[in-house]
Amino acid sequence: MKTRKITANSLLCVTLSLVLSLFTSCENDNEPDTAKLLIGKWENTEVNHLPVVTDSKFVMELKSDKHELYANGFQLDENNKSWEENNSYTYSVSNNILTIDGKNVLGTLFHMEFKILTINQSVWTYSVQSFRIDGVSYPDSNIYTCKRVTKDYSNQFTGIWYGRCTSAGTTDTKYHYWEYLNDGTYNYYYQDESNKWIKKSDNEGRYFLYGNLFVSNYSNDLLSGGTGHAYECWNFSISGNTMTWSGLRENNKTVTYEMEKVSAPPVLE
């Protein structure tokens, strides 16, 4: 039987091969799993690295079963708009491309392909490779930034709050009560011209929480006199029994409300 002579060169080749194999394996282990990182709730915060008008934000939740929930504001018709959640989308991930298909709440068919530019546990940026609505392409050259939603403030948020707008030059100078219930509905109380407290009967209020993003659906705006359904988005912070709302509006002005948690709604006269 012949024996194979192991030379110094062949031993060096084997050693290098093992080292390269080990290095490649470690490198692959350190690469982030994009599909796993995408799972969770994401709030859009910037477009082209500039803050998003708060009412124009959207929220995506990519679930482990490859379904996606998409939430944003819809202009239903000339007089009505509403914040809606829709979980009828599906998605897939291939390399750095996220593909989403489904219908929105109005039955419109969407096909979207997003190129993932960066992603980690906290922030995700992407560009749009393809965006089709009912088969029609709509080019989009924007860069979108989303932050991961990790905290649940529902326990602190539910309850009764008393406060007012604190923005300079506001015409909304009176105090208000908001009563947020565990089932996602809320009651709103205001003072009439005689300073009597009124529970708004046509409020049709519903609210949504995504981390520190708060969205409120309502009807027939008392301040503007507008009729129909509408919604507003706010960033909020809670410290003990005080809460602050902040919203960047279309005029590039920030509107703020400050309030405190109280034990009961007003006594109605």
Give 65-102 pLDDT, tens digit per residue. 999 999 999 998 989 999 999 999 999 999 999 999 99
Average pLDDT for 250-266? 96
DSSP string, 74-131: EEEETTEEEEEEEEEEEEEEETTEEEEEEE-TT--EEEEEEEEEEE-SSEEEEEEEEE
Domain with CATH 2.40.128.20 in the chain: 35-149, 154-262
268, 187 contact by CB (below 8 A)? no
pLDDT value at residue 31:
46
**Residue 102 amino acid letter:** G
Query: In the CATH scheme, what architecture does the domain 35-149 have?
Result: Beta Barrel (2.40)
CATH superfamily of 154-262: Calycin beta-barrel core domain (2.40.128.20)
47, 146 contact by CB (below 8 A)? no
The tens digit of pLDDT for each residue in 107-155 reads 999 999 999 999 999 999 999 999 999 999 999 999 999 999 999 999 9
pLDDT value at residue 30:
43
Sign of the Cα torsion 120, 124, 129, 132 reads positive
Higher pLDDT among residues 135 and 22, named by residue: 135
φ and ψ at residue 24, rounded to 5 degrees: -65, -40
Nearest residue to 187 (alpha-carbon basis) of 175, 176, 172, 171: 176
Residues present in the chain in total: 269
Band (pLDDT 50/70/90 cuts) for residue 7 is low
The tens digit of pLDDT for each residue in 161-218 reads 999 999 999 999 999 999 999 999 999 999 998 999 999 999 888 999 999 999 999 9
pLDDT value at residue 205:
85
pLDDT value at residue 32:
60
Sign of the Cα torsion 62, 132, 234, 248 reads positive
pLDDT value at residue 3:
42
Containing 2, the helix (H) or strand (E) segment is none
SS3 198: strand
129, 115 contact by CB (below 8 A)? yes
